[in-house]
């Protein structure tokens, strides 16, 4: 595609289409706010957001910094900014609290919109207009929605976008380094949305429950842009609650529920009385952000009689693969989204046949740019055409994709590549194991050896010898852990992922953890 040719604004098209065809249909229901917005109402609010931006002279690629948590106001601001044709910069407040000044200096927004309840201190940020977000329908003139409520709901001339214009910028969590602002243009964001609709098999009948932060692309695409594109409904929660999760599904008739390995593990360990027969409208629960251990997958489905469908993505490229109740396989993250043109390649970049393990590489076209903000606020292209995700994996004969683990986490013992995930899947199959992590440790002869740490379920009396014996019966000799320790909890990142870097550091500091 010629990146200098103007395009229609698909976000505005979707919004206007469903505002006209189904104005009374629910678009977003906020569980915590106990209020909803219809497609007709959402269109009017987004028109007013556009009028606000027009009056302040916003054009394509002008940036609006949005610092708030999950709410209807947050999502309609996000959609309204992009429907106008400007750039929405979503910044997770809690996870990036230490870097707010640095992020704002890099983003260079024309305005900062923030949630007062987040307790942000923006006093050191000058020369930028700042407005508390406020609430839709309020009359307060000192809040964004207070000002917006006075705007016209009429049609407005919007900037003419080209595919390369930036639709959104979102910041990585920055748990091990300074957070990075990932840039996504209009063309790529629309392509990812349409592919996600197909991969997860969404339709206008779906009601998608999501509690994940809508400051990140994963939730933005799956649970707000994909429903918007087909006229479906988002059921929005502020954060996960194991005790309320299945009641949300039951009370609000969810057909799809978002999840991840951490929340699935919590639901297994803190069982609800609700089962699949009590919620027949639920098609499946998703799992993404990290590979789901097969044992957890099997335990969850056996306990609840609810199907799990994995997906896979990366910050810089969006969703990469997806599955649904009619197209899934245990252990797999689904089938790659066709437009991503995914290949499994060797060290030289040559495609490998199934089921050979290799590097996961993708690239929709030779013109695709993978980019983020540099320290001066300018676009930095990290790769063009094709890019490796940093993950290792393989296809099976039916085209399903399996993730073996991060390239940097591979254990290389005597020249043999060992996947920590394979070892973790085996150990997690031992009754009494709550969590497990495998990793490489220094070995003077073989370069690296294999170690594992496990967390036991309550009132379980498994020993280290029990774990090692189980591995000896189910793993080849080279993959059996040399050391196994039992610990109280695994280190996790702010997003609930296993923090392997911290785990290795703890091991090196104190080998008994």
Domain 1-26+36-196 - what CATH class? alpha beta
Q: Tell how far CA 82 is from the center of its chain.
A: 19
Instruction: Quick: pLDDT tens for 207-255.
Output: 999 999 999 999 999 999 999 999 999 999 999 999 999 999 999 999 9
Is it the case that residue 415 has pLDDT exceeding 80? Answer: no
Under 8 Å between Cβ of 148 and 156:
no
> Residue 145: pLDDT above 90?
yes
**Tens of pLDDT along 433-478?**
999 999 998 888 888 899 999 999 988 999 999 999 999 999 989 9
Domain with CATH 3.30.300.30 in the chain: 410-509
- Average pLDDT over the chain, rounded to an integer: 91
Is the pLDDT at 503 greater than 80, yes or no?
Answer: yes
For residues 85 and 173, the model is more confident at 85
CATH 3.40.50.12780 maps onto the chain at 1-26+36-196
Provide mean pLDDT across the span 144-167: 91
Q: Which of 27-31, 97-101, 154-158, 363-367 is most confident?
A: 27-31
pLDDT grade for 177, boundaries at 50, 70 and 90: low
CA distances to 177, 242, 316, 323 from 383, rounded to whole Å, are 20, 40, 10, 27
Tell me the C-alpha to C-alpha distance, in Å, between residue 458 and each of 206, 299, 427, 455: 38, 16, 17, 9
Residue 282 has pLDDT above 80, yes or no: yes
Quick one: pLDDT at residue 175?
Answer: 46
Higher pLDDT, 294 or 513: 294
pLDDT digits (tens, 9 = 90+) for 302-345: 999 999 999 999 888 999 999 999 999 999 999 999 999 999 99
Once rounded to an integer, what is the mean pLDDT over residues 129-158? 90
Q: Band of the pLDDT at 510, cuts 50, 70, 90?
A: low
DSSP H helices, 232-292, are 245-251, 261-269
pLDDT in tens, 374-404: 878 888 888 888 999 989 999 999 999 999 8
Q: Class for domain 410-509, per CATH?
A: alpha beta
Tally of CA atoms within 13 A in the half-sphere of 414 that contains its CB: 7
Q: What predicted TM-score, i.e. pTM, was given to this entire model?
A: 0.87
The answer to whether 333 touches 297, Cβ cutoff 8 Å, is: no
Res. 6: pLDDT tops 70 = no
């Amino acid at each position: 595609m010629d990146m200098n040719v103007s395009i229609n604004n698909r976000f505005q098209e979707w919004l206007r289409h469903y505002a006209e065809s189904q104005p009374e249909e629910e678009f977003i229901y906020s569980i915590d706010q106990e209020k909803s917005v219809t497609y007709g109402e959402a269109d009017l609010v987004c028109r007013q957001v556009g009028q606000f931006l027009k009056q302040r002279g916003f054009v394509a690629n002008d940036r609006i910094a949005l610092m708030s948590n999950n709410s209807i106001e947050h999502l309609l601001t996000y959609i309204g900014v992009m429907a106008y044709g400007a750039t929405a910069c979503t910044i997770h407040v809690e996870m990036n609290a230490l870097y707010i000044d640095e992020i704002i200096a890099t983003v260079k927004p024309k305005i900062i919109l923030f949630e007062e309840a987040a307790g942000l201190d923006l006093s050191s940020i000058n020369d930028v207009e700042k407005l508390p977000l406020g609430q839709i329908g309020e009359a307060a003139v000192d809040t964004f929605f207070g000002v917006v409520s006075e705007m016209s709901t009429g049609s407005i001339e919007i900037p003419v976008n080209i595919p390369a214009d930036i639709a959104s910028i979102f910041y990585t969590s920055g748990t091990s380094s300074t957070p990075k602002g990932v840039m996504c243009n209009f063309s790529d964001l629309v392509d990812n949305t349409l592919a996600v609709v197909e991969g997860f098999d969404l339709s206008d009948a779906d009601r998608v429950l999501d509690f994940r932060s809508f400051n990140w692309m994963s939730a933005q695409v799956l649970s707000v842009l994909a429903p918007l594109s087909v006229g479906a409904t988002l059921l929005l929660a502020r954060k996960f609650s194991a005790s309320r999760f299945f009641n949300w599904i039951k009370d609000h008739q969810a057909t799809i529920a978002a999840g991840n390995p951490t929340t699935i593990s919590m639901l297994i360990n803190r069982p609800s009385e609700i089962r699949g027969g009590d919620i027949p409208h639920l098609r499946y629960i998703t799992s993404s952000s990290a590979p789901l251990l097969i044992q957890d997958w099997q335990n969850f489905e056996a306990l609840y009689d609810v199907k799990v469908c994995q997906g896979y993505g990366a910050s810089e490229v969006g969703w990469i693969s997806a599955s649904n109740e009619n197209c899934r396989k245990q252990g797999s993250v689904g089938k790659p989204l066709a437009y991503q043109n995914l290949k499994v390649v060797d060290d030289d970049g040559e495609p490998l046949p199934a089921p050979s393990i290799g590097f996961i590489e993708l690239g929709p076209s030779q013109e695709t740019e993978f980019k983020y903000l540099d320290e001066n606020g300018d676009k930095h292209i990290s790769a063009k055409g094709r890019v490796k995700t940093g993950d290792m994996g393989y296809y099976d004969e039916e085209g399903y994709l399996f993730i073996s683990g991060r390239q940097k986490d591979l254990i290389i013992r005597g020249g043999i590549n060992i996947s920590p995930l394979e070892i973790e899947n085996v150990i997690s199959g031992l009754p009494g194991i709550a969590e497990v992590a495998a990793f490489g440790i220094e070995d003077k002869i073989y370069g690296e050896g294999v170690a594992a740490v496990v967390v036991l379920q309550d009132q379980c009396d498994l020993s280290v010898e029990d774990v090692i014996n189980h591995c000896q019966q189910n793993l080849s000799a080279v993959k059996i852990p040399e050391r196994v320790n039992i610990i109280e909890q695994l280190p996790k990142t702010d997003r609930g992922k296993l923090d392997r870097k911290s785990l290795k550091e703890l091991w090196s500091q104190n080998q008994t953890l």
